[in-house]
């Protein structure tokens, strides 16, 4: 991989940032497409579900905690769907409304057929998008070319710095200024949930695939209602996640309750609060939504078993949780942290247990196990720990490894599906030396664009291996803080790994071409071509035609060039200085010697190049023949394959292997069919979520956005309303009925846990 970076960097020594700007100088008015733009260059029509929208979020001074969490929630497919569809999806007209005021929107068509990918995504197309009418008036338009001021180099002038990229993102727009209220359109009152829904809907409705969201209204509400977040200080992202989820639950329930009242059901018994979820009355079919969808997604049940050591009596208590906060050990894994979480704990001395059986405080053994596994497992790594000595919180830099896939060991014996497979889909990373300052970003696996880094306004594609950079460790400022695992299946996992592997193979196949045909370049790379398994954007690659490949590499180069030492804008500057510099400073003499050595190496290299070139010429001829032969063969095979692929969709899926070396022409065909497959595959893997989402099921048909498959019989509601056992509708029996006390402290765990460390 480095070889490719090396090639692009050739001539531009990292110490002379001026040379980095050569491209800009040549054509100052044509901004380079960002890596994200390149990634999306081949995208087809925009989907209506928002899965292919990649918007950054503007930072209003330490609001990165909010941005990173919202991004993680947005890319949870079931969560996004629920937010959009509760109580129903806003009609496009409703979204049109704010356009008259401040929202910059040229085209709110959900499926812009007229907008070819080129017009939307090419740099020029985007510039026209952000023409004066489109850009929010309070956002000064920054001309990318104009930023290269001659005097002094500001941090944001370095094209590789996040600051520059963020500025560029805002400049390029479109900027969705979310300072309006749309809640009336779907009959809700102003709330955090409504505001979140507005943001999601605005992103989906926008005709651009990329842009920046300015969540002003959301922050306004958040700060108005929560004193804690009012200060411009650094906040805890996990704290915010917990608050947001609880708030969403509350808003949704509140809405449903109001709805019931509006309907005027005089029967006061019609309103049943069941473990936090409102189960509507049988008659009030209009509001027949399952408001418990947040629970269904994020909530699991913990059983705490307490065994009194005096009377040997064991008492059990179920607690619901929306996320798990786990203590960390140095050099451990998430698996082990979860196991520790469920280890037996002695309740003694000041922490004795009040035993009902023998009466009075007794010593006891307590352990907590997971009884019901959540669909989305939000794991909070307790990196901020209170230290007695310092009387304040301190950040733990422990190295805690996390796998891409996870199962839970700490389940109860009677747990449902105790071997449930989870996949990592989002990581919230905290960067900084302590809990009171720093920065949050999130790294999220998107539906079909691989992993992306969301750093406020900036969105950038990253390698899958990049996710593993945040295990933590000594002198590692950026560590994972919240991990989002979502339920998946073995089959889905295999499918994905297959796709990734294919992409990697394809990428390496592409790499070999230039090596074979251009030995000169190969020489300069000093044979450092180790790159396999590092496909830039694995999933995306599967749909990339041959012609795009070069662009891709360029994009990677862009992403990978190391930024120069730059003071961080996000209050990180002082932190950065504390990084011990490991490489010894070189004296002048050393530099000279280094130069001499470099010259020598240069000579060697050139000699080697010549030699190689000679060899390669011969080889090239040979290979050319072989390749031609291969192409012919493969083309034939492809035709066969295509014929076969039409047979069934599953068959198609399997034919994918053949695509890489196919001719561009036939490639396109395949691609189309693949696109279809992708959709299918994804739909398949996620159908479980759809299945179990109550609000989708019980959507009245007259509401727009309702899908035909949701016209489920109403019996389910009745069933659900009768006993306090909330069932997931996919036929799996829920655990024992919740105890009455449960509804009271249903989120106590999450809150308790979070207050632990603040």
Partner 1 sequence: MFVLPPPPRYPTGYPGAPGTGPLIETNNTLTHPTGPDHQLVVGEGTYILREDLQLATPPPHPSEAPIHNPNPLATTLSPPSSGTKLSLVVLAPRQPSYSRLYKLDTTNSTRSQVPPSIQESPHETNSTASDVGSYSTSGVAPSPLEGQQAPAFGEGNPALSVMIGKDVKDPLKRRKPKSNIVKSNSSFVSRVIPHEALSKRLQEHNPNGLFAFANVNRALQWLDLSSPTKEEHMTKVLFTKAHALCHDINQVTKGPNHMDLVLGFSTGDIIWYEPMSQKYARMNKNGVINASAVSDIRWLPNSENLFLASHMDGSLIVYDKEKEDALFVAEEQSPAAEAGLNEKEQKASLVIKKSVNSKNQKTNPVSYWKVSNSKINAFAFSPDGRHFATVSEDGSFRIIDFLKEQLLHLYTSYYGGMMCVCWSPDGRYIVTGGQDDLVSIWALEDSMLVARCQGHNSWVTAVAFDPWRCDERNYRIGSVGEDCRLLLWDFSVGMLHRPRAASVRQRGSIASATLKVQRSRTEGSTTRLRSNSNLTTGSVLDEEEVVHAVEPRARTAMLPPVMAKSVDEHPLCWLGFEEDCIITSCNNGHIRTWDRPKEGAGSDKDDSTSASMSMSMSMSASVNLSVGASNNA
Residues 392-411 that bind partner 1 (CB under 8 A): 399, 401, 403-407, 409
By CB under 8 A, what part of segment 36-65 binds partner 1?
none
CB atoms within 10 A of CB 248: 24
Residue list 628-657, contact with partner 1 (CB under 8 A): 630, 633-634, 637, 640-641, 644, 650-651, 653-654, 657
Report, in this order, helix, strand and coil percent for the chain, each rounded to 5. Answer: 45, 15, 40
Strand, coil or helix: what is 403?
coil
Q: Is 197 helix (H, G, I), strand (E, B) or coil?
A: helix
Structure tokens at 203: 């992103």
Q: Least distance to partner 1 from the beta carbon of 314, Å?
A: 17
Question: Nearest distance from residue 382's CB to partner 1, in Å?
Answer: 16
Query: In the complex, what is the shortest distance from the CB of residue 657 to partner 1, in angstroms, rounded to a whole number?
Result: 5
Do the beta carbons of residue 598 and residue 48 sit within 8 Å? Answer: no
When the beta carbons of 125 and 155 are compared against partner 1, the nearer one is 155
Q: Is 676 in the site for partner 1 (CB under 8 A)?
A: no
In the bound state with partner 1, the residue whose beta carbon lies nearer, of 215 and 461, is: 461
Nearer to partner 1 among residue 149 and residue 583 (C-beta): 583
- Whether 355 is a known active-site residue: answer no
Per CB under 8 A, does 588 bind partner 1?
no
Distance (Å, whole) CA 324 – CA 374: 10
Q: Is 123 in the site for partner 1 (CB under 8 A)?
A: no
Between 47 and 340, CB nearer to partner 1: 340
**Which of the stretches 311-319, 619-627, 734-742, 744-752 binds partner 1 when contact is defined by CB under 8 A?**
619-627
Shortest distance (Å) from residue 279 CB to partner 1: 24
End-to-end CA distance of the chain: 43
CB of 594 to partner 1, least distance (A): 4
Of residues 64 and 196, the one with the C-beta less far from partner 1: 64
Binds partner 1 (CB under 8 A): choice among 254, 605, 691, 751: 605
Residue 578 is a binding residue for partner 1 (CB under 8 A): no
Q: How many CB atoms lie within 10 A of CB 522?
A: 21
Member of 119, 333, 394, 524 binding partner 1 (CB under 8 A): 333
- Which of 264, 269, 312, 589 is the binder for partner 1 (CB under 8 A)? 589
Write the DSSP string, 471-539: S--TT--EEEEEEEEEEE-HHHHHHHHHHHHHHHHHHHHHHHHHHHH-HHHHHHTTT----TT--SSHH
Pairing of strands 175-177, 210-214: parallel
Nearer to partner 1, 341 or 353 (CB): 341
Taking a C-beta distance cutoff of 8 angstroms, is the pair 432, 65 a contact? no
- Residue 626 binds partner 1, judged by CB under 8 A: yes
In the chain, how many H helices and how many E strands? 27, 23
Q: What values do phi and psi take at 333, rounded to 5? A: -125, 165
Task: Provide, rounded to whole angstroms, the least separation between the CB of residue 449 and partner 1.
Answer: 15
Q: Could you give the CA distance from residue 534 to residue 450 in angstroms, rounded to a whole number?
A: 12
Query: C-beta of 366: minimal distance to partner 1 in Å?
Result: 21
Active site residue 439: yes
Stretch 415-474 residues interacting with partner 1 (CB under 8 A) = 416-421, 429, 431, 441, 453, 455, 460, 462-463, 465-466
Q: What's the closest the beta carbon of residue 592 comes to partner 1, in angstroms?
A: 9
Measured CA to CA, the distance from residue 17 to residue 348 in angstroms comes to: 63
Residue 265 tokens, joined: 């059901």
From the list 217, 206, 205, 211, the residue with the least C-alpha distance to 180 is 217
Q: Hey, which residues between 527 and 546 contact partner 1 (CB under 8 A)?
A: 527-534
Residue closer to partner 1 by CB (options 146, 626) is 626
Angle at 35 between CA 683 and CA 378, to 5 degrees: 50
Contact by Cβ (8 Å): 536, 18: no
Angle between helices 77-85 and 664-692 (to 10 degrees): 70
Helix axes 192-205, 64-74, angle to 10 degrees: 60
Distance CA 17, CA 751 (A): 48
Is residue 191 part of the contact set for partner 1 (CB under 8 A)?
A: no
17 vs 98, beta carbon nearer partner 1: 17
* Stretch of 108-116, 353-361, 599-607, 748-756 contacting partner 1, by CB under 8 A: 599-607
Scanning 173-212, the segments in alpha helix (DSSP H) are: 192-205
Contacting residue, 123, 309, 348, 623, with partner 1 by CB under 8 A: 623
Which residues, numbered 466-525, are part of the site for partner 1 (CB under 8 A)?
Answer: 466, 476-478, 489-491, 494, 497-498, 500-502, 504-505, 508, 511-512, 515-516, 522
680-709: contacts with partner 1 (CB under 8 A): none
Q: Which of 93, 227, 413, 715 binds partner 1 (CB under 8 A)?
A: 413
Please tell me whether residue 547 binds partner 1 under the rule CB under 8 A: no
Selected binder of partner 1 within 598, 610, 614, 739 (CB under 8 A)? 598
Nearer to partner 1, 465 or 758 (CB): 465
**What does the alpha-carbon distance between residue 630 and residue 625 come to, in Å, rounded to a whole number?**
8
Half-sphere exposure of 530 (CA within 13 A, CB side): 1
Half-sphere exposure of 325 (CA within 13 A, CB side): 20
Provide the minimum distance between the beta carbon of 486 and partner 1 in the complex, in angstroms, as a whole number. Answer: 12
- Distance separating alpha carbons of residues 693 and 292, to the nearest angstrom: 9
Contact between 735 and partner 1 per CB under 8 A: no
479: β partners: 430
Nearer to partner 1 by Cβ, of 90 and 158: the residue is: 158
Nearer to partner 1 among residue 132 and residue 733 (C-beta)? 733
Contact flag: residue 571 with partner 1 (CB under 8 A): no
Distance of closest approach, residue 428 Cβ to partner 1, in angstroms: 13
300-308 β-sheet, strand order: 314-321, 300-308, 364-372, 345-347
Asked if residue 18 binds partner 1 (CB under 8 A), the reply is: no
| CA 538 remoteness from chain centre | 15
- Binding-site residue total for partner 1 (CB under 8 A)? 111
Question: Taking the complex as a whole, how short is the minimal distance between the CB of residue 727 and partner 1, in angstroms?
Answer: 14
Report the site for partner 1 in 154-183 (rule: CB under 8 A).
161-162
DSSP 8-state secondary structure symbol assigned to residue 709: G
Residue 438: CB minimum distance to partner 1, A: 10
Residue 594, interface with partner 1 (CB under 8 A)?
yes
One DSSP character per residue, 443-476 reads EEE-SSS-EEEEETTEEEEE-GGGGGGGS--TT-
Given 123, 311, 576, 680, the residue binding partner 1 (CB under 8 A): 576
Q: Between residue 336 and residue 395, which ones bind partner 1 under the rule CB under 8 A?
A: 336
Q: What torsion do the CA atoms of 257, 262, 263, 265 make, to the nearest 10 degrees?
A: 70
Q: One of 234, 430, 439, 757 is an active-site residue; which one?
A: 439
Residue 677 lies near partner 1 (rule: CB under 8 A): no
Q: Which of residues 192-211 bind partner 1 (CB under 8 A)?
A: none
- What CA–CA distance (Å, rounded) separates 559 from 549? 15
Q: Which residues are catalytic?
A: 64, 439
């Amino acid at each position: 991989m480095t070889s490719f970076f090396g090639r692009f960097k050739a001539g531009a020594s990292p110490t002379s940032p001026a040379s980095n700007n050569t491209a800009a100088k040549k054509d100052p008015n044509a901004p380079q497409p960002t890596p994200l733009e390149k990634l999306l260059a081949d995208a087809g029509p925009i989907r209506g579900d928002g899965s292919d929208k990649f918007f950054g979020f503007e930072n209003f001074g330490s609001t990165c905690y909010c941005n990173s969490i919202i991004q993680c929630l947005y890319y949870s497919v079931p969560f996004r769907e629920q937010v959009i569809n509760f109580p129903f999806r806003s009609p496009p007209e409703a979204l049109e409304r704010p356009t008259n005021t401040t929202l910059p929107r040229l085209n709110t068509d959900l499926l812009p057929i007229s907008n070819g990918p080129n017009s939307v995504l090419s740099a020029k197309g985007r510039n026209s998008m952000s023409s004066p009418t489109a850009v929010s008036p309070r956002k000064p338009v920054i001309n990318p070319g104009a930023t290269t001021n001659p005097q002094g180099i500001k941090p944001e002038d370095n094209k590789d710095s996040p600051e520059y990229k963020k500025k560029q993102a805002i400049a390029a727009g479109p900027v969705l200024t979310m300072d309006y209220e749309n809640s009336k359109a779907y009959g809700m009152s102003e709330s955090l949930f409504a505001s979140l829904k507005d943001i999601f809907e605005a992103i989906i409705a926008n005709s651009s695939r990329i842009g920046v969201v300015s969540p002003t209204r959301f922050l306004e509400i958040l700060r108005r209602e929560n004193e804690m977040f009012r200060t411009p200080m650094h906040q805890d992202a996990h704290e915010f996640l917990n608050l947001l989820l609880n708030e969403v639950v509350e808003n949704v329930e509140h809405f449903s309750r109001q709805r019931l009242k509006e309907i005027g059901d005089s029967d006061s018994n019609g309103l049943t609060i069941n473990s936090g979820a409102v189960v509507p009355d049988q008659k009030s079919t209009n509001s027949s939504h399952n408001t418990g969808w947040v629970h269904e997604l994020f909530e699991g049940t913990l059983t705490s078993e307490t065994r009194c050591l005096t009377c040997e009596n064991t008492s059990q208590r179920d607690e619901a949780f929306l996320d798990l906060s786990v203590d960390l050990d140095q050099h451990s894994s998430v698996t082990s942290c979860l196991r520790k979480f469920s280890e037996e704990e002695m309740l003694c001395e000041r922490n004795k247990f009040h035993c009902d059986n023998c009466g009075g405080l007794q010593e006891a053994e307590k352990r907590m196990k997971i009884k019901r596994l959540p669909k989305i497992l939000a794991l909070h790594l307790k990196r901020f720990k209170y230290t007695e000595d310092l009387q304040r919180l301190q950040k733990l830099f422990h190295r805690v490894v996390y796998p891409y896939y996870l199962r839970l060991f700490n389940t109860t014996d009677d747990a449902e599906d105790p071997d449930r497979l989870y996949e990592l889909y989002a990581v919230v990373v905290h960067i900084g030396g302590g809990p009171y300052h720093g920065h949050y970003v999130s790294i999220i696996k998107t539906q079909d664009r691989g992993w992306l880094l969301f750093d406020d306004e900036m969105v950038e594609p990253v390698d899958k291996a990049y996710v593993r950079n945040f295990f933590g460790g000594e002198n590692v400022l950026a560590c994972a803080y919240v991990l989002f695992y979502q339920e998946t299946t073995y089959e889905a996992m295999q499918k994905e790994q297959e796709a990734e592997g294919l992409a990697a193979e394809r990428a390496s196949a592409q790499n070999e071409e230039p090596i074979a045909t251009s030995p000169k370049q190969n020489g300069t790379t000093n044979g450092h071509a180790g790159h396999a398994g590092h496909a830039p954007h694995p999933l995306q690659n599967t749909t990339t035609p041959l012609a795009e490949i070069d662009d891709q590499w360029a994009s990677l180069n862009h992403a990978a060039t190391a930024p120069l030492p730059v003071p961080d804008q996000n209050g990180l500057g002082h932190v950065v200085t504390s990084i011990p510099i490991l490489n010894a400073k070189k004296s002048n003499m050393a530099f000279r010697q280094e130069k001499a050595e470099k010259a020598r190496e240069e000579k060697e290299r050139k000699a080697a190049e010549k030699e190689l070139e000679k060899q390669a010429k011969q080889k090239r001829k040979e290979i050319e023949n072989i390749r031609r032969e291969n192409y012919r063969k493969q083309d034939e095979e492809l035709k066969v394959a295509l014929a076969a692929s039409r047979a069934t969709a599953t068959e198609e899926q399997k034919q994918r292997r053949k695509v890489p070396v196919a001719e561009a022409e036939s490639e396109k065909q395949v691609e189309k069919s693949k696109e279809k497959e992708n959709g299918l595959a994804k739909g398949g893997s996620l159908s479980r979520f759809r299945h179990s989402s109550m609000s989708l099921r019980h959507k009245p048909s007259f509401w727009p956005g309702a899908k035909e498959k949701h016209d489920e019989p109403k019996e389910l509601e009745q069933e659900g309303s009768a006993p306090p056992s909330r069932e997931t509708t996919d036929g799996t029996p829920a655990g024992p009925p919740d105890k009455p006390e449960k509804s009271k402290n249903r989120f106590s765990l999450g809150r308790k846990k979070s207050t632990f460390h603040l």
